[in-house]
Homo-oligomer: A and B are copies of this chain.
Amino acid sequence: MTDAETTRATTVGDLSEGQILRGILDRLPPSTAPVGPGDDAAVLSVPDGRVVATTDTLVHGPDFRLAWSSPFDLGFKSAAVNLADVAAMGARPIALLVALAMPDDTPISFVRGFADGLAAACAELAPDCAVEGGDLTVSNTLTIAVTALGSLDGREPVRRSGARVGDGVYVIGELGEAARGLEVLFGRFRDADGTPLVITPEARAALGADDARGLARQLTPRPPIAEALRAADAGATAMMDISDGLVLDATRMADASGVTIALDSATLGDDPDRALGGGEDHGFLVTFAAEARPLGRRVGTVVARRSEAVTVDDRRWSGRGGWDPYRDWDAGRG
């Protein structure tokens, strides 16, 4: 037998939970919390006595495919989407808690790449944030459940219910890039049966610039966390993460605020339908009063409530309406 036949990759099933945890923590920046990982729970400082908390889960199958996402990508994305939810309240992300449920044949190299992705997302998007706790379990389905915590640092939380008639409607970040990436995945990286195909370096290099950028944004979204905090400081009246598509998320903001959000498709670039319907960019939808100094680009105006929560060019929008994991499950299975 050759070496390749007698040795195989170390898997999480070969190691104790403690050994796996050390392998993760060794790749992350050290904790600066009063109590970091390793005790029953972490202790974190939130100087103004208010903590912002959110949780979001990525499940193999409906939320990602290992043929398409590298372990690094998954660590990066699972951090980024939670950091965006904290920042959308006007809070500075300070900590992640990461629960990882893995099949016991998962190679330990997966765990290392995943930890590197977590670390990279924190370093790039939210440098005050570290992984302060977590949990490892066995599962037949690879599942990543991340909780993010943030500090308001004296700011008032910016809620989705604060939009007022006359406010300008702004978007910070990109629209439609992640949806373009999903189209690339479904269109080019599946076989005739719909089974995901691995993205080889050659296939990635053969993509046009727009498709390559969309693919990168789909796999590793880069929510503009620092700009969201500046928007809060600039007096944003309402803010939320655009995770499920501009129209669907604007509908949620409009319903929470008791207003209608009138969008102008001319502000949405050369593919307004993709910008209106495509999810997963994790930019921010923000409203500012007329007298504020806004951030982002203006996409519409808050008006008095009409029969429609959101209008596009003063009409109801009839395009595809964002992402609901239950409804889109069959599509996601492909």
Contacts and interface: CB of A to CB of B under 8 A. Distances in A.
Given A59-B138, A143-B141, A326 B54 contact: no
Contacts of A98: 55
A50 B44 contact: yes
Interface residues of A, number: 75
A46 interface: yes
Interface in A21-71: 34-35, 38-59, 61-63
A136 interface: yes
A16 interface: yes
Copies of this chain held together in the complex: 2
Interface in A84-101: 84-86, 88-89, 91, 95, 97-99, 101
A104 interface: yes
Contacts of A86: 40-41
A134 B55 contact: yes
B141 A140 contact: yes
B138 A43 contact: no
A327 interface: yes
A160 interface: yes
A98 B57 CA distance: 10
A140 B137 contact: no
